[in-house]
Chain A
Amino acid sequence: MIYHPPIEVYAGRVREVVLGRGNKALKIGGENILPLHLFEGSVANPPRFALEVYDVEPADWPDWLLEPFGEVVSDPVNWARKCVNDFGAEAICLQLESTDPAGEAVSAEQAAALVKKVNDALDVPLIVYGTGDEKADVRVLSKVAEVCDSENLLLGPLLKENYEEIGKVALEHGHSVIAQSPVDINLMKELNIKLCKSFPANKIVIDPVSSGLGYGMEYSFTIIERAKQLAVIFKDGMMQMPIIANLGGECWKTKEAKAGREQGILWEAITATSLLLAGANILVLRHPESYKLVKEIVSG
């Protein structure tokens, strides 16, 4: 009996999306193999990692999560700088928690001014997440787009309720966007199709909503895995956007991650590794240690 290695060749390719501009530019996606199938081809861009920064000082983080950052957690600009300079983040993801209408409800102008400050201070691209409130995000993200004109930020989440409004402003001002649908492959594709009518497909990243280990991670895993197969094996043009896994917050809000340092770091690192193996192209993490662990795993 002779063994013939069952190597496969794939018909489709994920679109390459550029984040940031000029010498900040970072490319994601572009692969025509299944995740980490380096025995079947090479990838233009390895999986990328962003670290999170919040615009409000975290109130309920455990010590082992605050410890690596020290005082900068009250200062988003320096927090972002530290993530890049000390921990080697390839991108920063600024979470605009202060704009939550049920919380501080900071004005769009104020939020946008902060985004600009953070972006100006960085030499890596910036991802900006609103709170997911469909109305507040229209105001906030539109203002951010305008104030940071032509910086090519990655803005999101665009939901089925507000994609048109945010998409229009983002396009006008030269940004890329994140299309988000809650763990459902059909809804995801539907949103991509609708968004593509008015927005260039090569400036869209998709977010299937990431859940933490033990809290629905398997759903995110399977949606990402299926989306990647539709893109790469079945050449479905409306699924060929790179995938973002915004998982840091989801992991660290769990009881298990808050129970101890090592357990928390592994909770995040194993969630990230799982979603990476499913096919995420860019992952947003919170703890520099889990970031380091997952990065080492990817590189060998």
Chain B
Amino acid sequence: MSIKGTDIVKKLPEGGKKNCRECGLPTCFAFAMKLASGGISLDKCPYISPQVKAELADALAPPINLVTIGHGENALQIGNEEVLYRHEKTFIHQPGIALLVSDEETEASIERKINKVRELRFDRVGLTLKADLLALYFESGDKSKFEALVRRAYEATDLGVVLISDDLDALFEARDIYASRKPLIYPITEENIDRAIPRIKQSPTPVGVRAETVEQLVPLTLKLKEAGIEEIVLDPGSGNLREAIAAQTLLRRAALKQKFRPLGYPTIALPCFMTKGELKEFVAASVFIIKYAGIIVISNADQYSLLPLLVQRLNIYTDPRMPLAVEEKVYEINEPNEQSPVLLTTNWSLTYFIVSSETEASKVPSWLCVKNSEGLGVVTAWAAGKFSADTIEPFIKRCGIEAKVNHRRLVIPGKVARIRGELEEAMSGWEVIVGPREASDIPAFLPELVKKWK
């Protein structure tokens, strides 16, 4: 939030000394503090003048507006970001990945793309990764073709859409087909904005604004805001990646550091129009995942192009303050018994995900002891002192594995081979075996190990 409670209180009735309690709080000061943390609505105080109210509403609004595209469970929310760098806090709303479909494409290609965007789903660390939007592009010059494409998408899927057309009539006709599902219409420009505004107001929906530079966006968003349109997405129209990085960075800074309202909106990037050459487009898209885009439009979504981008997005938007972690406990893999090997690892969900799936693939029944390392991987946990003999020994005791097996052999990750000695010293009666450095070697390692024991 851009305003502090102590600054708000001065603006409240009688300089914040009225304390009439009608807002439900004991004092104006308490009300001010609650406002600043976003916990109460301004309307609760009946005595604020309209002028102060408008001023406070502006100051309390998040520096980057929230924009919702699409409806229902497929709705995509973008904006509301609070930082420039993920380590400062976290990035909040992942950019939507949109697949471009032009009305010039063949029937078969259109069909294939719509199916792809509906069906391509990847499961990873307990999450489902997928593309979010279709971007329907009026390229043919034949309005009936575009209309057919829009109707077809509308009927085939309830995914949200970006409607792209330089022809305003075609754009608004498409908007009307999609009116109930909040499409993003694009591009509104200096040239067409005056004609567009009355038509937007007929059936409000998010608006994508395009200009040649960051600066030229300002008069456009001011006009829209004046007309009551605040769900805006910005395209600073960059020709190449260097300029795009500059524009996206300046936009984010202007919104967050300067609190410059006219640029406080999420952005759209269109690598599909920036580069020719198939793989390069996706590398360009990866730049926008890091550099602040709210929507990224790509021209083709196959597994090979979509998966790397979705995983990158997952990585960058993971909250760095809370690594994804799984519960500390003994996991059973392939129905182990009292003779099965005992493996040890840390509780970063990625580590768990890889080690458990490789162990499963080995077909050897095993016990996987997952120690709480506050979501760190093996090497980092060791470096941070969360995976050393003095913490592992009590964990092995409390996790109950000693009651489940009739042997005392513990396999540790090869990457921390160095703790073997101290671990054997700390855990009397246990033999410590150094496992593979890479989880991918587990399927080769485990069968050999059990064979040796027999």
Contacts and interface: CB of A to CB of B under 8 A. Distances in A.
A and B from one assembly? yes
Contacts of A38: 242, 246
Contacts, number: 137
B388 to A, nearest CB: 14
Given A1-B218, A6-B253, A213-B312, A273 B380 contact: no
Nearest to A4: B258
A266 B308 contact: yes
Interface string A210-233: 000111111101100110010000
A196 interface: no
Interface stretch (B45-53, B107-115, B171-179, B276-284): B276-284
Contact of B279 (A221, A226, A255, A269): A269
A139 B279 CA distance: 43
B263 A3 contact: yes
Nearest to B354: A215
A49 interface: no
A3 B219 CA distance: 10
Interface in B300-321: 302-305, 307-309, 311-312, 314-316, 318, 320
Contacts of B305: 262, 266
Interface string B238-253: 0011100110011001
B304 A260 contact: yes
B254 A6 contact: yes
Contacts of B284: 297
Contact of B320 (A3, A218, A265): A218
A107 interface: no
B85 A184 contact: no
B291 A183 contact: no
Given A6-B258, A270-B308, A229 B85 contact: yes
A249 B440 CA distance: 14
A269 B279 CA distance: 9
B86 interface: yes
Contacts of B263: 3
Contact of B241 (A5, A225, A297): A297
B279 A214 contact: no
A274 B282 CA distance: 12
A187 interface: yes
B249 A37 contact: yes
B354 to A, nearest CB: 8
B222 A219 contact: no
- Interface residue tally on A, bucketed by range: 35 or more
B249 to A, nearest CB: 7
A263 B291 CA distance: 22
Contacts of A221: 86, 315-316
B315 A277 contact: no
Q: Say what secondary structure dominates the interface of chain B.
A: helix
Contact of A293 (B218, B279, B384): B279
A188 to B, nearest CB: 11
Interface in B339-390: 350, 354, 377, 379-380, 383-384
A182 B302 CA distance: 35
Contacts of B7: none
A183 B375 CA distance: 14
B331 interface: no
Contacts of B218: 1, 3
A230 to B, nearest CB: 11
A270 B282 contact: yes
Contacts of A3: 214-215, 218, 254, 260, 262-263
B241 A300 contact: yes
A8 B152 CA distance: 48
Contact of A263 (B222, B308, B379): B308
Interface string A15-55: 00000000000000000000011110000000000000000
Contact of B308 (A183, A184, A267): A267
A84 to B, nearest CB: 23
Given A1-B222, A184-B383, A253-B438, A263 B320 contact: no
B242 A265 contact: no
A208 B222 CA distance: 45
B21 interface: no
B287 interface: yes
A296 interface: yes
A170 interface: no
A218 B315 contact: yes
Given A182-B380, A216-B350, A274 B242 contact: no
B199 interface: no
B124 interface: yes
Interface in B257-301: 257-258, 260-263, 279-280, 282-284, 286-287, 290-291
B398 interface: no
A158 B435 CA distance: 25
A141 B283 CA distance: 36
Nearest to B323: A219
Contacts of A92: none
A216 B286 contact: no
A209 B451 CA distance: 36
Contacts of B261: 1
A255 B218 CA distance: 46
B395 to A, nearest CB: 21
15 contacts: A3-B263, A5-B214, A36-B245, A37-B249, A209-B379, A215-B350, A229-B85, A262-B279, A263-B304, A265-B279, A270-B309, A274-B312, A274-B316, A277-B291, A293-B283
4 interchain residue pairs of minimum CB distance: A263-B304, A39-B246, A218-B315, A6-B253
Given A39-B250, A225-B87, A300-B241, 15 more contacts: A3-B214, A3-B254, A6-B250, A7-B250, A36-B242, A37-B246, A182-B379, A213-B315, A221-B86, A222-B320, A226-B87, A266-B283, A274-B316, A277-B290, A296-B280
